[in-house]
Amino acid sequence: MLKKALQYSIIILAIGLVSFNVAHGQRIKGTVIAGGNLSQVEGDEIKGWSQLGFNGGLGAIIPFGSHWAANLETLFSQKGSFQKKQFDELKSNEYRLRLNYFEVPVYVSYTDKNVMSFGLGGYWARLVSSREEEHSGNQAPYSDSVAFNKNDMGFLIDVKVRIWKQLHLNLRYSQSLAPIRERNFDPQGSSDFIRKQFNQVIALRFIYIFNVSRQGAIPE
């Protein structure tokens, strides 16, 4: 699973780098990304950012002008939802959802004084695998009857701060724009309990940028 996602990442990133380089003749900055996700699923009747996951991959920064850049990333990103058991003897309401995605964010960023960058854009993600567990496995998962959508598309807001030479700390919020699934929480069929579900993710990552000066400035 992870190997396949990495192969896809390298292929798409290579195509993107060659295309941008040929079209614009710009000096491209490569990036290596590693960090974590804190996620939840809106519409699953569970509150709180309680699911941890990995977020990492490769990227490219293509400058245009003195402060602006286009950004392309290829990531392996783990999302989902979690609620611990409410009653020890019954393990009532315990829920775990893990969604593994191959994700391609594309966004535009503005860099101020080669220290802080602000970005806005979107992403497309392809579901690699999923695992849903309800009541500690004592109840069949809803995904057995209604699977998650294979594609997830959404928007992202991105902030990056240089903390040491080429190393940056990155904070990102992203959310699905289209439902990843619809779930009926009332088996009797009441439409009042049908929920559209969306991924919501806060990512904290370290980004190392190549092809910049030792002081962190991005050459033109």
pLDDT tens for each residue of 106-119: 999 999 988 999 99
Whole-structure pTM value: 0.84
Better pLDDT: 210 or 123: 123
43-98: per-residue pLDDT in tens? 998 888 999 999 999 999 999 888 999 999 999 999 999 998 776 555 567 899 99
CATH number (1.20.1260.10, 2.40.160.20, 3.40.50.300, 1.20.140.10) of 2-209 reads 2.40.160.20
Tokens of 30: 């490569």
Query: Cα–Cα distance between 97 and 81 in angstroms, integer?
Result: 5
User: CA quadruple 220, 15, 150, 98: dihedral positive or negative?
Assistant: negative
Element (H, E) at 20: helix 2-24
